[in-house]
Each structure stands twice: as structure tokens, then as C-alpha cells.
A and B are shown apart, each in its own frame.
Chain A
Amino acid sequence: MTTQNESPKEESSTFVRPKKKLDWRMIAIRSGVAAGVTILVCIFILRPMIINGSSMMPTYSSRGFTFGFLPYFKMYAPQRKQIVILKHAGFNTFLLKRIIALPGETVEIREGTVYINGKELEEPYVKYPCDWNMSHREVSKGKIFVLGDNRSMPMENHMGGLINQNRLAGVPIW
């Protein structure tokens, strides 16, 4: 129930702000700075990427989207089974692959099963049948051996294998 004493209180809490003129110059400067920072972040730290191709299926489907965290390998060393983004060639093409073997290790594929230093590698992420064979080879210093998760195509049609470690660009954030 409203009493007579409460009414003046309510009125006193409402007030009208004086209409402020928009400072377009400040809006333009702030928008410019925000756009610049966003562009720099997208180029050097979190690069938006569209996944094109089926070589990482079913982990990543074609036409998927992710962000690449680019400074990752400035802080951490690459590890086996890690999904990585690799610089291919040119400015705008990257490869999304999984690290299988590291420098100094030997890798071999028999009937689709990968062996690292002669020991079978467990790969729960490989869901499609694979019948690849690759003779024993050593991963030399400064290189890594990468493969996609989808190995259902013939090996000649799959972009994988040895790549220079300096082409590691980052990791996907999901």
C-alpha cells in the first residue's frame, strides 16, 4: 500500500540526463583502435581458419571453423598425437595434421597400423579403415612426421609425412 510519504521519494529517484552530443571524433578514433587491435590479434595471435578438406575427419569435418593459436610453439614443444597447424606455402594456406613421430624416432606403417620405434601406436582417433604400408624411416633432426586422422584414401592422395619443424604455425583452439 502506498503511503503519502513514499511518493515524493520515488519522484526524487528519477532524473532526466541532459541530452549529450555524440562526439563523432572520439567514436571514430575508438572504433579505429578497436579494429586495429582486432586485426593484429587475428593476424598474430588467434587466426580464424576455415577447414577445407576431409583429411582430419572425423575429428574435424570439412567446412568447419576454428581459431589457430599461433604463439603456442614459442612456449611449448611439439608432442606426439597433438593436432597442429602447419604453414604450407603462400600466405593463406595452412595444413591441419596430427603429429605422429618426433625427431630421432623411426616410423613405419604396416596394414594401416603405425609403429614408432617398432612399437605399435594406439590411435583411437582413426575411425576409418586404412591399409597403408610405408617402410621404416627415421625422422631426422628438425623434422616431424604428421598424418591426418582420415586415412581411408590411397596413401598417394593423402598430404602427410615429413615436414620441417619450422613450419609449425600453432594449434587449433578446439
Chain B
Amino acid sequence: MSSEERPSPHNPVPAPQVRLGHQAATSDAAGTDRRGALRVGVTAAMAIGSVALGLGLRERGSNKKTRALPTIKDHRADKPAGATDMAIVRGPDPAANVRKAIEALGGMGRFVRRGERVVIKPNIGWNRLPEQAANTNPDVVAEVVRLVLAAGASKVWLTDASVNTPEQCFARSGIEKAAKAAGATVIRPDASAFREVNVSGKLLRTGDVLFPIVDADRVINIPVVKQHGLSLASMALKNWYGVLGGQRVKLHQNIHVSIIDLAAMVKPTLTILDATRILLANGPTGGSLSDVKQLDTVAAGTDEVALDAFGATLLGLNPNDVGFIVEGMKAGLGTPQWKNLKTVELGG
């Protein structure tokens, strides 16, 4: 204790800074209490505010929202007992190949019922001609539209989120004209065509998806078979990139996983793999006919992994070397052992 704190006749109460007398001590302690409380309050508010700000910013950037958003329903149809799993048809007429393949699977009535609304999703990603094989063949697409309408569908949407300018892609590919002529309603990917949904994938939690994919009763995937610079190949599973709006750069940071995230989200009713012409190099854009091979082949089925495994062989790839095929199998989306399925091969 310092000399200032010692009791003395003039200063009977020690420790003046604490207790100068009952009244003085009360008012000083109350002041200290208020200042202290204020300091703690401000500190706590700053901490809570900083954490909230950080979380808010992180939430906005990391696409990990867990808000209540619509989830895309499972579009798969029940498989009748003994039905064929996969059909591979070869022949010079793409439309005839489609008809034969669907017939071999049991007819379009197996997949589409009267009054249902159906969305058809070809690859219309590129400002390219059909001969350049970057997009799905328009004759294949148009024939699918006709078969779906003949099965009694009340509405047939046709859509894709093009990579290049949609107007150019939809026109140059020949798909818009052919699909409209066959009776489809063509939905171009403008800003109003997207709706935010739950993806609930490993990488993608939510996404803006073309609305027909959300609203339709049935979904039909019609990809083209082509080489792809990053994922090795683009076929059925990869074609679901084309339902998503927004910047693509994030999707490519772990391409095989994000492909499976989207494929698991959609679960299509039917897949028709277009290998009328395939792009063997410089994909996915292509351009030079020197990179294109005409195969006059169409394959159809309900197992996207099996169809992609078959498509990979057309590109000279081992399906086990294609990351998204392996990931698709692991995710339970299908089997790469397409030869073990009940498969019909016609023509060629």
C-alpha cells in the first residue's frame, strides 16, 4: 500500500481513487460501471457486426445458400418388366434412326403420357452449322419433337443456355427452325427464362435453371457426341451445363463433379445420344470440318452413364478414363458397363 493510501487524521478513508467516502464512491463506481458496460457493449456489437458482415459476404460469394428454393423433380419413368435399356441404331437417315431407337425401347408412350408437358434439351451451345458437329443434329431434334407430340404431350418446350449468342446459335444450328416446324415452343435463354432452384450438389448448392426444366413433367436430353478440351468429352451428362445461367468459370474449377451435380439434379426421362456427326478435336467449339467424322448413329436409353460410356468409345476414349463417367457411376446415376444392359443394336 502506498503512503497515499494510508489512513491519516486528514484523510480517514484510504484508497481515494476507490472510496473517497460513501457518496463519492457510489457515484464513481457507477460511472466506471457505465463506461465499462459501454465498452463491452460496443466491443460485442463490433464483434457480432463483423461476423455477420463476413458471413453475409461469404454467403453471397460462395453460393452456399440454404434458402427454401424449389427442387427439380425426378423425371424418370418406371421401367416396364423386360423392357430394353438401350438401343443403338445406325443408318443414313437421322430421323429414321431416332424412330427405330425409340421403337426398340418400347415406343415414346413408355416415356410420355397424354397431357404431359415435355422439355427437350439438345446442345445448341455454339454458333455453328450442323455439319460442324458442335450442336445436336436438327433432324434428330425435330423427330423427337414429333414423337413426343404424337404420344399426346400437351406442350413441348425446346431450350438450351447457349454459350455463344443465343440468336446466332438457335438459327445457325438449324434447330430452332426444325423444332418449330415440328411443333415445339422454342425458349431462348433470356434473363426471364431462368428460375433459381436447389441443386444440392457437392459443389453447386443453388443455380438459375431454365424454367421448362423446373415446370416440365418429362425431360428429354438430346446431346451430341464431341471431344471436349477440359472434360475429354461432352455427351449426355455434360449437356446439363446448358440448363444453367450465369458465369461458367466456376463450373470448370472441378468440372467432373459439377457435371454430376447437375446430372443428379435433372434425372431425365429419356436420353437420345446424337452421333450422326461427331467432333473429334478442338471441342467443344469446333469449326473445322476436318475435325468432324460422320457416324450416322443414334443411341437411346435411360442410363446416361451407359450412353456416355458408349459415346466415349466412339471418340476413341476408354470410359474409365473419363472423370465424369466414373463420378456418375459412383453417384449411382448409372453404369459404364453398357454391354451388360439389355441393349438392341440395329443397322450398320
B partners with A = no
* B residues whose Cβ falls under 8 Å from a Cβ of A: none
